[in-house]
Amino acid sequence: MFKRSLSNTTKKMVASNLIEANSFQVTTYARPENLCFTRGKNAILFDDINNKQYIDFTAGIAVTGLGHSNPEVAEVISKQALKLVHSSNLYYNEECLKLSEKLIEKTIQFDGQSDATKVFLCNSGTEANEAALKFAKKHGIIKNPKKQGIIAFENSFHGRTMGALSATWGIKYRVPFGDLVPHFKFLNINDELGKLQAYIEQNASEIAGLIIEPIQGEGGIFPIPTEKLIGLKKICHDNDIIVIYDEIQCGLGRSGKLWAHSYLPKEAHPDIFTSAKALGNGFPIGATIINDKVNNALQVGDHGTTYGGNPLGSAVSNYVVDVIADQKFLDHVNEKSKIFVSFLKSLQEKYPNQIKDVRGKGLILGVEFAESPASIVVKARELGLLIITAGKTTVRFVPALTIEDDIAQKGLEIFEQAVKEVLN
């Protein structure tokens, strides 16, 4: 009876022939063979098809901050789905209004001071950045039609749509797609601040905005030094250039504060910042949060999206933000961070020639190896741990912020075992 109701896809999956089951998917992803997750519980993922389970230090690429299949999130989804899923941006909806107010209030509370005043809701990280770039360009163009360039940084990742992609450093992401959006310029954050400022000042009449991740994620987990962010904000402020912080990966508690920029003094806070990933704990949602300077440049009709701010996504994010924007929750993140950092630093001491650096903040951490750690990732998976790389030589640790201490410890021990087996 059960067997008769199986689809062809499921039959192939049960037979562990995932390559065949995958033959109808566009070939844009490289995936390990014979690994297919069927359920999750906080920081554990289960592959019931192959009867295996894994400790997950990837959290869906820094998405499931509150863990896989969080029962409270599931309850919010099911209650809201029975009430109202979507009504469009033709009309107001309560959850969207509540979420916008909450994001501003919590930002003011956790940043100490903030001039963030308005929120644009969308459905993903790349869309949140797309809105940010458009808003910055509009602000510039109003002043001077030539003031429409965007400064981005080497090692950045901002998304895959044409605007966000134009600000993304990796050549492999950009080059296959020919001409992208014009007037994007990449600077190297490791250059002296004076040099960066001089370039921006000299070209200010043609620069609308600057976009940067306060902690670069995909590029290799590089926290940007505070003095650099203060100096960049100052030169941009003095030259009427909009500063955008991409907090899609490093925001919402991941750094140990509500936002990664919450560590910074007020003078380095952004004009726009973007959030996504953890904002929906896996439900697709993104947000672009702006100040009045940016908002004053916008008019009805300038931007929009059918799904953005829908009641279902907004209800999930209302729950997520309530949980994460709580000092006790953030204190726990910092406690868990200590478990990871002390273990990884002592591992570095055991392998001083092969492990070059342990860096990051909160639960966005990177271990940089002297060579590509790709085989360590594969070995860890064989041993029951999921990790991902960032940049060419770094392993990234972005587990659920709610990971249990003993699961974290067990996963770290598996990581050490993988390092040992590969390096020895």
Q: Are 320 and 70 in contact (CB under 8 A)?
A: no
Nearest approach in angstroms of CB 47 to ligand PLP is 23
β-pairing, 207-212 vs 149-153, is parallel
Which among 118, 179, 151, 158 has a CA at the least distance from the CA of 303?
Answer: 118
Nearer to ligand PLP, 66 or 260 (CB): 260
Q: Which of residues 329-388 bind ligand PLP (CB under 6 A)?
A: none
The answer to the question of residue 261 lying near ligand PLP (CB under 6 A) is no
The answer to the question of residue 248 lying near ligand PLP (CB under 6 A) is yes
Which residues have C-beta within 8 Å of that of residue 405, sequence separation ≥ 6? 336, 339
Give the Cα separation of 227 and 86 in Å (integer).
Answer: 44
Element (H, E) at 122: strand 116-122
* Residue 268 CA: distances (Å) to CA of 113, 203, 236, 378: 11, 21, 10, 40
Judged by CB under 6 A, the residue of 43, 76, 272, 276 near ligand PLP is: 276
Judged by CB under 6 A, the residue of 95, 213, 271, 368 near ligand PLP is: 213
The answer to the question of residue 214 lying near ligand PLP (CB under 6 A) is no
Nearer to ligand PLP, 249 or 255 (CB): 249
Which residues have C-beta within 8 Å of that of residue 239, sequence separation ≥ 6? 200, 201, 204, 207
Amino acid residing at 137: K
> Applying CB under 6 A, what is the total number of residues that bind ligand PLP?
15
The answer to the question of residue 153 lying near ligand PLP (CB under 6 A) is no
Choices 50-58, 140-148, 243-251, 370-378 (CB under 6 A): range interacting with ligand PLP: 243-251
Nearer to ligand PLP, 123 or 197 (CB): 123
Nearest approach in angstroms of CB 217 to ligand PLP is 4
Nearer to ligand PLP, 180 or 422 (CB): 180
Judged by CB under 6 A, the residue of 218, 254, 271, 310 near ligand PLP is: 218
Give the Cα separation of 62 and 276 in Å (integer).
Answer: 10
Tell me the chain's radius of gyration from C-alpha atoms: 22
Q: Which of residues 50-69 bind ligand PLP (CB under 6 A)?
A: 61
3-state secondary structure of 386: strand
Nearest approach in angstroms of CB 128 to ligand PLP is 8
Which among 51, 243, 4, 48 has a CA at the least distance from the CA of 140?
Answer: 243
Nearer to ligand PLP, 289 or 414 (CB): 289
State the residues that interact with ligand PLP by CB under 6 A: 61, 124-126, 129, 157-159, 213, 217-218, 246, 248-249, 276
